[in-house]
Structure 1
Amino acid sequence: MNSRNFVLLALLLNLLYTPGAHARVSFQNSGTYVTRASVDAGSPIAIYSGFVASENVSGVKVRLEIRKVSESGTISSDALVVNEFPNESFVAGQPRTYKSSYLIPGTAGPGKYALAAFLESSTSGATLYSRTAVTSKNSFMVVNQQHAAYVRGINIMDMGIAPSALPGVHGVNYTRPTFASLQILKNRGLDVVRLPFLWERAQHALGGPLDPGYMGLLIQTLKDCRAAGLKAIVDMHNYARYTDDEGKKYFGAPGGPTREQYGDAWARISAFIRSDADAYHAVYAYDIMNEPHHPAGSSGLTGAQIWEQYAQAAVSAIRATGDTKLIHVEGYAFSSASRWPSQHATPFIVDPASNVMYQAHLYLDNDSSGTYSLAFDEEEALSIAQGHASVGARAVARLKNFSDWCTQFDQRCFLGEFGWPGAHFVGAADARKWNHAGDDLMSFMDAVEMGGTLWATGSWLTEDGNILNAYVLPRDGHSFKALSPSEVLENHRGRP
């Protein structure tokens, strides 16, 4: 994954009125940054440029350019590429962010480039000027570099649904995706599916054997994935707990699963999958635990520290079987992208196979819950009140906490869950706004070369089945239908 720097441009933008005018509008930069510190010629780069006006002003032309910087530090008078926003209005004190996606021409030579910003207005004969200083914070390098591969896909809510029905009955409490559904998803341009499953269904008693019927369904799903040309993420969807007849038992709590029992489960699951070559071939990664969160035990350790110990136990157990597949490790506190650095100061897994990828989750609503209880305009107002230019800008800022951590420690990272409401629940007008915010998020994912799986679809979901549903799959009399969130996912395909 490439480095990104948070950029604070040294921009001085003053609105000068014609002689006799007494008002003066000043502009300040608010959180401008590039998504890459270096880029190849012929490749895209995104720059987010934020401005705040001291007074209300309209009719402003915003022109953002990339210009070559000489070895002596002089900015070229010729623009390499230009993005213009011709008729902008600013409300006093309200930040506005402009996402400029640039394609660096293939003819661009290596070296330093800088962003130049110009704002002009014909209102009252006024003109806006800008100055751009060349510093290490407002420039990036065009270089020859190798781009990271990444996959994009979706979560399928089938084998992990109805967690209150344990172990449950196939066809009554849970199901599995059909081969036809997997083929359709592949034909829509997806690379990978994340397959949540429940530990209690796979292993009815801690330390006991795996359930052959339930695991057989997982094996067949993986084989169907391979036949359809999809990869799969095998996701233990248990939140760092195990439920038996006595109730929920938390990692690190008295009576809860031990690290050895947790490692034993993953060693058995890995061996079971490896016993079928076609199923094993389809595995993209083992996601060893979905969204760990639980009370800290009596050991005096924090919840995050307890989870780190358990995660290491699972990784070590899988590797002890000789399995070298990619392992996804989520973070404590629901694997929140925005809270990741506050939970994990540094990477916490030692992997003898050097094949670990950290996985975070991110939802775009105010409380990051994914419940989306507010209308889009209410969310937009809250985003602005929190200092963000938009819902999309807030989502990017949340993900940037995680992606910056990944860059700092040179770790591969993945966004395992993200999603937003579809038109089937919120109507066409709001769905367009949510899609725009989702596009902002996925554009940033493209720029930092991060894979991800949208939440969600499922064999039993209909148009009115879930606010975040992205596809109605063909089953039980329902015809396939792509719902509005899928438009954004399919416009931001992976690079396997």
Structure 2
Amino acid sequence: MKPLICGFATVLGVACGTATSAWAEPLPGINLEGAAFGSGKIPGRDNWDYMFPKKDEISYYTGHGIKFFRLPFLWERLQPELFAGLDPNYLGHIRDFVADAKAAHATVILDLHNYGQYHGALIGSDTVPVTAFVDVWQRLAQVFGRDRSVVFGLMNEPKQSSAQEWAAIEQQVINALRAKDVKNTISVSGIQWDGAHNFPQVNGEALAGLHDPGKAMIFEAHQYFDRDHSGTSPDCVPVDQVVGRLSPFTDWLRAHHARGLLGEFGVSGNEGCLADLRAALTFVGQTADVWYGWTYWAGGPLWGNYMYSIEPSKDGTEKPQMTVLKDFMGKKQGHSPR
């Protein structure tokens, strides 16, 4: 018999698995953005400054093989005052989206898309104490806790300067949720834009110290393939550099017996970038033992002519990126929500 592999970050609600155990294929997914639009307009006008994806968008993507939706949303809209109740209208939209995704047999990651801040003040400051961050997730857990089809994405790209400080903040949330017997998978993030290419150097040591009593924790990283990793250019690096950008995070996950989420990645529609996209997803498929899933950036109702968007044109024409993505969303990758 092969020796048991038991890691501090073993996920999917099981403590251990044998070295020969077959992991499920990574969940193929997409960021469906819209609810976090208009962040300079708080609270903003519903269906004007911001908009939640509709049921027909869920149907479009699940019809192409998508099994996983990352839903970015804003803390300030969800909870207009710290330590107060959640806004019923905004929360209602989130609940409706989750229900529609579940009906389509998809998993949802609730992505608190706030960069480690609330109204511009960092979590851990006098203005936004860590207990406020714990509070909003406890309130969300009262609604979605124990729902295995909902993943809790604690924070998108936190701007805290210290990875150790940020890890300690995330640990407090994890502890509070598990103390309430919350069963959901929890996705943790790192500082400095959460990059896969430098994850071990920037976040590896700090996040390696995280402990999940519920044994259902995954690690999220983002990676773009333009020159400076920023996701702001229509041009991409040569295809032979793609694996080098993803392998540091991948190697770290394997060394720590953990699983990861490629939470954001995207390219424009030119041939060089499409080659990078194919190379990236091929690599994820070849290293599937460490990947929980991936969510392409982005789809959603308000992108317009955004270069990375894969929303179809008004006449139904698909974006060239979707042509590549569909090759990695076949039936062999589909499975029921965790």
User: Into which bin does the TM-score normalised by the smaller protein fall?
Assistant: 0.7 to 0.9
Matched, 1:359 2:225: no
Contact 1:223 1:282 in 2 (8 A): no
Deviation at 1:332, TM superposition (A): 1.4
Structure 1 match to 2:267? 420
Structure 1 match to 2:180? 321
Structure 2 match to 1:372? 233
Query: Which of the residues 470, 474, 477 maps onto 2:310?
Result: 470
Structure 1 match to 2:251? 404
Structure-2 separation of matches of 1:437 and 1:351: 34
What one-letter code is carried by the residue in structure 2 that aligns with 1:211? D
Structure 2 match to 1:394? 241
Structure-2 separation of matches of 1:402 and 1:490: 24
Contact 1:461 1:469 in 2 (8 A): yes
Contact 1:337 1:361 in 2 (8 A): yes
Structure 2 match to 1:257? 128
Question: 194-203 vs 339-348, which deviates more?
Answer: 339-348
Which SS does the other structure have where 1:204 is aligned?
coil
Structure-1 separation of matches of 2:69 and 2:210: 24
Query: Which of the residues 63, 72, 95 maps onto 1:219?
Result: 95
Deviation at 1:213, TM superposition (A): 0.9
Structure 2 match to 1:151? 27
Structure 2 match to 1:70? none
Provide TM-score, normalisation by structure 1: 0.60
Deviation at 1:339, TM superposition (A): 1.4
Contact 2:65 2:334 in 1 (8 A): no
What one-letter code is carried by the residue in structure 1 that aligns with 2:296? L
Structure 1 match to 2:152? 286
CA deviation map 1:341-379 (0-9, x unaligned): 112343132111100000100000111000016x45xx4
Deviation at 1:281, TM superposition (A): 5.6
Which SS does the other structure have where 1:443 is aligned?
helix
Which SS does the other structure have where 1:334 is aligned?
helix
Structure 1 match to 2:166? 307
Query: Which of the residues 321, 332, 335 maps onto 1:485?
Result: 321
Q: Work out the percentage of aligned pairs sharing the same amino acid.
A: 28
What one-letter code is carried by the residue in structure 2 that aligns with 1:469? S
What one-letter code is carried by the residue in structure 1 that aligns with 2:317? K
Structure 1 match to 2:280? 441
Structure-1 separation of matches of 2:54 and 2:316: 12
What one-letter code is carried by the residue in structure 1 that aligns with 2:298? A
CA RMSD of aligned residues (A): 1.8
CA deviation map 1:4-50 (0-9, x unaligned): xxxxxxxxxxxxxxxxxxxxxxxxxxxxxxxxxxxxxxxxxxxxxxx
Question: 304-313 vs 343-352, which deviates more?
Answer: 343-352
Deviation at 1:495, TM superposition (A): 4.7
Structure 2 match to 1:383? none
What one-letter code is carried by the residue in structure 2 that aligns with 1:291? E
- The 1:238–1:282 alpha-carbon spacing in structure 2 relative to 1, beyond 3 Å, is same
- The 1:225–1:289 alpha-carbon spacing in structure 2 relative to 1, beyond 3 Å, is same
Runs of 4+ residues deviating >3 angstroms: 478-481
Structure-1 separation of matches of 2:74 and 2:317: 28
Contact 1:415 1:453 in 2 (8 A): yes
Structure-2 separation of matches of 1:161 and 1:222: 19
Structure-2 separation of matches of 1:314 and 1:445: 29
Which SS does the other structure have where 2:278 is aligned?
helix
Deviation at 1:176, TM superposition (A): 1.0
Matched residues, number: 309
Which SS does the other structure have where 2:38 is aligned?
coil
Contact 2:148 2:184 in 1 (8 A): no
- The 1:146–1:168 alpha-carbon spacing in structure 2 relative to 1, beyond 3 Å, is same
Contact 1:262 1:313 in 2 (8 A): no
What one-letter code is carried by the residue in structure 2 that aligns with 1:149? E
Which SS does the other structure have where 1:403 is aligned?
helix
Q: Which has the higher contact order (CA 8 A, sep 6+)?
A: 2
Structure-2 separation of matches of 1:480 and 1:320: 48
Contact 2:73 2:111 in 1 (8 A): yes
Structure-1 separation of matches of 2:135 and 2:198: 30
Contact 1:328 1:357 in 2 (8 A): yes
Structure-2 separation of matches of 1:412 and 1:406: 6
Structure-1 separation of matches of 2:280 and 2:97: 30
CA deviation map 1:223-275 (0-9, x unaligned): 111122221111000000110xxxx101234x34211111111000111234x
CA deviation map 1:48-91 (0-9, x unaligned): xxxxxxxxxxxxxxxxxxxxxxxxxxxxxxxxxxxxxxxxxxxx
Contact 2:298 2:310 in 1 (8 A): yes
Which SS does the other structure have where 1:482 is aligned?
coil
- The 1:472–1:205 alpha-carbon spacing in structure 2 relative to 1, beyond 3 Å, is same
Contact 1:263 1:316 in 2 (8 A): no
The structure with the largest alpha-carbon Rg is 1
Provide TM-score, normalisation by structure 2: 0.87
Contact 1:471 1:480 in 2 (8 A): no
Deviation at 1:172, TM superposition (A): 1.4
Which SS does the other structure have where 1:318 is aligned?
helix
CA deviation map 1:398-433 (0-9, x unaligned): 1100000001111111100001012xxxxxxxx122
Contact 1:340 1:402 in 2 (8 A): yes
Which SS does the other structure have where 2:61 is aligned?
helix
- The 1:350–1:486 alpha-carbon spacing in structure 2 relative to 1, beyond 3 Å, is same
Which consecutive unaligned segments of at least 5 residues does structure 1 have?
Answer: 1-142, 297-302, 380-390, 423-430
Structure-1 separation of matches of 2:203 and 2:92: 36
Matched, 1:452 2:294: yes
Deviation at 1:218, TM superposition (A): 0.4
Contact 2:109 2:152 in 1 (8 A): yes
What one-letter code is carried by the residue in structure 2 that aligns with 1:353? G
